[in-house]
Amino acid sequence: MSKLARPLFVLRDGLLVDSTRRLKVQKDEGGKEEERFVVEVDTDHEELEDLDVECIPEDSAGRDAGKSAGWKCPGLSADGKTCTSPGTDPRCSQSLYGDGEASPSPKLEGKTRKLAGPDEDGGLVYHALLLPDDYDEDPSKILVLSPRDYDASAGGPKARRKSPFPLKSAEFFSSLTLIGRPEAKTEEEAGYDELWDTSGRTSSDHGASSGTSAKSDNTEGARWVFRGVLNGWPGLVVMELRSIEIQERSKISGRTTGWKQLWAVDNEGSYGVDPSKCVLGKKSRGMKGDKRRIRAELRAPEWTARGWSAESPGFLFWVTGPSVSEPTAPPVVTYGTDIQSIFKCPEEEDPQCDRVTMICHRYATGGKSETAKDKLTYHSLALLEWDHAQYCTVVEIGWLNGIGGYKGKANWYDDKDDPSGSALYGALPPEMVLPWKSTMSEIRCYDVPFRNLDHFKTHINKYLGKTSRFLDPRYTFSHEVRLTYRSRRNIATYLLNYIRRDRTYSEMKRNCQTFTADLCAFLAGKKDVQPFHPVNQLQYVNQKHKFLYESGKYVTKKGKK
């Protein structure tokens, strides 16, 4: 039996498998439709005889037909409020709380310490909004949470909100695990100095006036680590609690004046003080209990500032799969340095980049009138053409987690607005589904099923218009690639060097237009390539040298690579 590359099979009798899609199949008798599950299998027909499956020709079933019924998390409970495996699928928006332990076993403590990483600065910082446990007793009078962030049907905060992420205080504190050992108090800190002159004492409960405590050289300080899935974001699973603050109001005017610290990792935290003891039941001055705003600052592991995992650093992802011969092939997403591994192949098999084109366009506004800023805002991307003419690659830069945090919606695929989610959304690794950060960047590479620029223009024209995707497309630069080393693996290495050297994003100095100009100038060997818009040209300084050099050989001002 010949081996099928990517056939579709319908699984009957309620057989559930990972990454399934529902497909409505019309029965012969009566014309009645029934829902069956579809799974892609790379195997022989003979190996599936025991599974009671029926092969469906791809051209008759269609890959997009199964999405009309919508994706449903296999582990979701009947009431839709809980999931047996939250955080394991990019499309699952269920949260996970209550897995923390104040006195963990050595095994759990060791596992948590490994996930949290060393106590080092540099990890990405997030905030959580700690709601009173009874804040929604009367949903019509919720004051501490914005109505747009409350889901009345679920009886709680909506999933995947922006920072600070809302959750109940009890949910938060039940998800904290204590690792390390608290420091022992000195006699003075324990209160012995009350027998003497106390004029030199600070306002801190533990005598740390500068916000830091003198830790013992041979003692690892206590650390409280959040373990779970925060607000339905699969990428927010392990973070260290750094501080808890409460919002104050003036006694006189009643206006909000700022935030007051209740707990800090280098004060109360270093002595093992349970953060819940400093918060639960706390009411701020002049503020009713149901109006209080308490937020927690959380720091992700140190490696999160460099990539989506410790093992594969680099905020670059590459989507492979679709091609001219298989335009509907399922996408596969690889990120970071792992890209170099999957692209490794004999030199004669490595595609060569032949041509690079700069494309600029405005975004369609969905039929709404364009603002002055909309008319000035152009997105730029580079289109790479390869010698095999089986696909092109779109290369662009944007906000960090802009694709993972936006449900995998990319303008370069037809199913971007599919009601049940795009194929790219389902292909994303869960750790990439995070809230976006507008001050940091990621490089995105998409293999698209077009032979060359002229073929790719058919996609642009297909979605041209105020109610579609693109407005005013411009093809401002196109040139052959003149690099000696221009294979796909070479290009991936250049892009990794660039993003690992500088991960920032700025509307004026480092954005999609400046990156595209850098890339086009580098690949084509030209020195006069400029960003598209005159506003971005004002402060533009070409940075093409960043493609060439390994970022790990450079040290920042803080002494970190």
Whether 22 has a pLDDT exceeding 70, the answer reads no
Whether 48 has a pLDDT exceeding 70, the answer reads no
Q: Which residues of 341-365 are buried (b: 16+ CB within 10 A; e: fewer)?
A: eebeeeeeeebbbebbbbbbbbebe
Rg (C-alpha) for the chain, rounded Å, is 27
Whether 329 has a pLDDT exceeding 50, the answer reads yes
Amino acid code (one letter) for 212: T
Record the tokens describing residue 231, joined without a space: 């607000």
Average pLDDT value for the chain: 81
**Higher pLDDT among residues 316 and 272, named by residue:** 316
The secondary structure of 209-277, three-state, reads CCCCCCCCCCCCCCEEEEECEHHHCCCCCEEEEEEEEEEEECCCCCCEEEEEEEEECCCCHHHCCCHHH
Residue 99 is predicted with a pLDDT of: 86
Record the tokens describing residue 440, joined without a space: 């940091």
pLDDT category at 220 given cuts 50, 70, 90 is low
| pLDDT tens for each residue of 387-436 | 999 999 999 999 999 999 999 999 999 999 998 899 999 999 999 999 99
Whether 458 has a pLDDT exceeding 50, the answer reads yes
Which residues, other chains included, contact 15 with Cβ-Cβ below 8 Å and sequence gap of 6+? Answer: 37, 51, 52
pLDDT category at 557 given cuts 50, 70, 90 is low
Whether 16 has a pLDDT exceeding 60, the answer reads no
Write down the pTM of the prediction. Answer: 0.80
- Strand 256-264 relative to strand 316-320, pairing: unpaired
C-alpha neighbours within 13 Å on the C-beta side of residue 321: 15
User: What is the rounded distance in angstroms from the CA atom of residue 23 to the CA atom of residue 37?
Assistant: 6
Record the tokens describing residue 486, joined without a space: 């221009």
Q: In 448-509, which residue ranges form alpha helices assigned H by DSSP?
A: 453-462, 488-501
Residue 254 is predicted with a pLDDT of: 66
User: What is the rounded distance in angstroms from the CA atom of residue 477 to the CA atom of residue 509?
Assistant: 20
**Higher pLDDT among residues 178 and 11, named by residue:** 178
User: What is the rounded distance in angstroms from the CA atom of residue 273 to the CA atom of residue 224?
Assistant: 10
User: What is the rounded distance in angstroms from the CA atom of residue 461 to the CA atom of residue 457?
Assistant: 6
Least confident piece of the model among 9-18, 214-223, 319-328, 410-419: 9-18
Amino acid code (one letter) for 217: D
Strand partners, 83: 76
